[in-house]
Amino acid sequence: MTDPAAPIFERARALVDDYTLGAVKAWKAAHPGALAVGHMPVYTPRPLIEATGSLPVAVFGGGDSLDIIRGDSYFQSYICHIPRSTVELGLGGHLDALDGMVFPSICDVIRNLGGMWKMLFPQKYVAYLDLPQNFDKDVGGRFYTSELRRIARELAGRGARTLDADALLGAIARENERRVTLEQLDAVRRAEPWRLRATEAYVAVRAGSVMPAEEHTRLLREILAAVKLRTARPVDNVRVVLVGSFCEQPPFELIRALEKAGCDIVEDDFQLGMRMIDGPIEPCAGEDPVEALSRAFLERGRASASRYIDRNEKGADLVARVHACAADGVIFAAASFCDPALLDQPMLEAALERAGIPHTSFKFAENTGQFQVIREQAGAFSDAVKLWGPAGAPVAAQEASV
Amino acid sequence: MSGTSVTAGIDCGSSAIKVAIARSHVGEGGELLATSVQRIRRRNVHDVARAAFGEACAAAGVGLPDFAYVASTGDADVIDFATGHFYGMTTHARGALHLFPAARGALDMGALHARAIKMDERGKVLGHRMTSQCASGSGQFLENIARYLGVPLEDVGALSMQAKPVEEVSSICAVLAETDVINMVSRGMTAGEILKGIHLSIAGRLVRLLRSAGAEGVVTLTGGLAADVGLIACIRELVAKELAGPKKKKLAPIEVCAHEHSILAGAIGAALLGAYRHDQLLKRGKLALAAGAALAP
């Protein structure tokens, strides 16, 4: 029997692989005068951009299909890969369809990239979005609301629609629908990982980075309906939570390699921005929707390395997520030189050890092409968990030129 | 409901598919009911896997509903009817232990890679080392050279054993090693001498791999190259030389053992681990997974 979901995933994969943003160009052609605004990981409030009549476009770098020539000359060797490939994309004209870029606060590197972008592309709109690290609504909330209004105002100055409450409420409602559909997709993956692979869920989410929320919801519903029709049967794999890939994304084949090593990734932080807010954004009666957007981030923003968390709570969210999705262990997959992820990792590992949850870790770059060592490590981890239980310490893979 | 179960292990290697069917009683190991080895030889790998599995099932007199667990190892994508997958290193360790219960190490010598494994008395991997990506030192390389020399694969070991060691080939790079072989041929060296040189080179690399993995005591040779008597002789020769040499006090003794079923070690290990896992699933009440094999197409 042919796979009813295959053609939909093919379509989604084509969108993901197209770093020349063909879908964005098509959207702009269909919406003359509207802006397309790129944004870097981790989190940018997409409904705000949509409410100005613009298309938010998530930019995740060049992945493994782009040769970096000019990008390398802008960064030292100890800097991660995503800013290099983003510069390469920009200088190569692949991001010309974007009228502007928002650089949310992730780390110093992305902040610096924002500054470089201003100099490299003076004609484009460039904004640095300083996400609050104080979650008191009268302090961080007030600051964040003013930041959101500033960006909306600046976009309007570039030709976008002036932000109004009704438009933002509409955009929030569409985002909520997308969020609910994403949760349904996650629920399928958690309940029946053999029905929806992590690689497929990844593509389903990532395809939404170049389309409005409403269109993405339609695509996700199509996928949901198709995967339910699949003839699938249980496969005895270990259930893992993958963390550390919230900014630079691992190559698709790396995720596939983990699956082939016997790991069902039932929870992850890939493309975290798409799921940054836990649950729907719910404006209270009479509340300014910009404040509702801000409040959602303050109160229900997901724990991540780019968000301040009190020292005593570091790792608590991860442990809770492992329990919630009945995972057997955790894989830390951080991009090489990703300071936020790698600085957090020892604290998260300590929390897992206190909770008796097995874990393993490796690093990658978005253009990593060889997965043998990672496959060895994931396979050893999967078997250790499956056969010897949490007490079975994972065996570190080591490659020797002997 | 712990007890006796029939399980299958299917090892999808890069040049052959190996199948083992075992009847196991948890806690007491298992007995082999049937085995099958089929070379892929440019055929569709899925078809070869199904054919090998079917052949083993027929020999064991069992059908799909009889299996408690069908475990794949090697390339997971090839077997679409497996209950679960175990990693090659784990299955080779378990298979090595089945073939020689005293083994605490395994040397998996496959078509593309070699891997030295140190394990405990349950077959749990304690550490390992594998060769880097270059094909020199692998079964595929040896097979290619045998073809260039016009020597049937089954004669390689005997020819090598009859020859005197003259010189070794490069153990770092397959391209350099092939160049060495061309030079040897042009200098009039016999096929046996060339093969001996290759065997010594591969054996040197494998012994270093074993040492770096910390293997000691009985080491089971597994994988396709474990059928090459010439290579086994060279490995034994080098181990003995090491243990008689100046570093002998620092080196743990190693006894290298090969078995007629060495090529099946991965499949045997997968079948036995499948039985163990099946028992665990039953104990944990995961009946849907435990019944996975019965749902196979």
Q: Are A93 and A25 in contact (CB under 8 A)?
A: no
pLDDT attached to residue B295: 45
Of the candidates B83, B132, B172, the beta carbon closest to that of A236 is on: B83
The nearest CA of chain A is from the CA of B76 a distance in Å of 6
Residue pair B71/B83 in contact (Cβ under 8 Å)? The answer is: yes
Q: How many CB atoms lie within 10 A of CB A16?
A: 21
Q: What is the ipTM of this complex?
A: 0.81
Paired strand residues for A263: A238
Asked whether the bond before A188 is cis by omega within 30 degrees of 0, the reply is: no
Backbone angles phi, psi at B52, to 5 degrees: -65, -40
Q: Which of B89, B127, B209 sits opposite A402 (nearest CB)?
A: B209
How many C-beta neighbours within 10 Å does residue A272 have? Answer: 21
Query: Which residues does residue B36 pair with via DSSP β-bridges, in sequence order?
Result: B19
Ramachandran sector of residue A55 (left: φ over 0; alpha: ψ -120 to 50; beta: rest): beta
Portion 222-261 of B in contact with A at CB < 8 A: none
Q: Does A233 touch chain B (CB under 8 A)?
A: yes
* Domain residue limits, chain B: 4-87+264-295, 101-258
Q: Specify the CATH number of the domain B101-258.
A: 3.30.420.40
Token digits of residue B77? 């994508």
- Angle ∠(B169,B170,B171) on CA atoms, nearest 5: 110
Shortest CA distance from B203: residue in chain A: A402
Residue of B nearest to A257 (CA): B76
Residue A386 to residue B277, Cβ atoms within 8 A: yes
Which of B90, B108, B205 to mutate to test binding with chain A, by most A CBs within 10 Å of its CB? Answer: B90
Q: Report d(CA B222, CA B175) in Å as an integer.
A: 26
Where chain A has pLDDT below 50, the residues are 391-402
The C-alpha atoms of residue B75 and residue B57 are separated, in whole angstroms, by 21
In b/e form, how buried is each residue of A229-263, taking b as 16+ CB within 10 angstroms?
A: eeeebbbbbbbbbbbbbbbbbbbbebbbbbbbbbb
Residue written as tokens 């712990």? Answer: B2
With a cut of 50, list the residues of chain B below it in pLDDT. 1, 293-297
| B 199-218: CB under 8 A from A | 205, 208-209, 212
> Is B208 in Cβ contact with A397 (below 8 Å)?
no
| pLDDT tens per residue across span A59-82 | 999 998 899 999 999 999 999 999
Q: Do domains B4-87+264-295 and B101-258 have the same CATH topology?
A: yes
Q: Beta strands B4-12 and B84-85: pairing type?
A: unpaired
d(CA A131, CA A293): 12
CB-nearest to A395 from B75, B128, B205 is B128
Separation of alpha carbons A337 and A100, rounded Å: 27
Residues 26-65 of B with CB under 8 A from A: none
Instruction: From chain B, pick out residues whose CB is under 8 angstroms from the CB of A197.
Output: none
Q: Report how far residue A117's alpha carbon sits from residue B197's, in angstroms, rounded to the nearest whole number.
A: 59
Domains annotated for chain A, with CATH where assigned, are 238-401 (3.40.50.11900)
B70, B77, B85, B125: best to mutate for the A interface, most A CBs within 10 A: B85
Q: Is A380's CB within 8 Å of B131's CB?
A: no
Left if phi > 0, otherwise alpha if psi is -120 to 50, otherwise beta: which for A123? alpha
CA distance B242 to chain A (A): 16
- Return residues 271-290 of B near A (CB < 8 Å): 273, 276-277, 280-281, 288-289
CB burial of A310-334 (b: ≥16 within 10 Å; e: otherwise) equals: eeeebbebbbebbeebebbbbbbbb
Distance CA B97, CA B124 (A): 10
A334 within 8 A of A304, measured Cβ to Cβ: no
- Chain A residue with Cα closest to B209: A402
Report how far residue A185's alpha carbon sits from residue A190's, in angstroms, rounded to the nearest whole number: 9
Find, among B140, B145, B97, the residue nearest to B117 by Cα. B97
Give me the CATH topology for the region B4-87+264-295: Nucleotidyltransferase; domain 5 (3.30.420)
User: Do B87 and A380 make contact, defined as CB atoms within 8 angstroms?
Assistant: yes
What is the C-alpha separation between B202 and B114, in angstroms, rounded?
Answer: 10
Q: Are A254 and A219 in contact (CB under 8 A)?
A: no
- Which residues on chain B are in Cβ contact (under 8 Å) with A370? 133
Are A330 and A359 spatial neighbours (Cβ–Cβ below 8 Å)?
yes
C-alpha distance from residue B147 to each of A105, A139, B38, B140, B155 (Å):
60, 76, 19, 11, 11
Best of A3, A199, A233 to substitute, by most chain B Cβ atoms within 10 angstroms, is A233
Q: What is the pLDDT of residue A398?
A: 37
The region that residue B118 occupies, defined by phi over 0 for left and psi between -120 and 50 for alpha, beta otherwise, is: beta
Q: Cα separation of B93 and B107, whole Å? A: 9
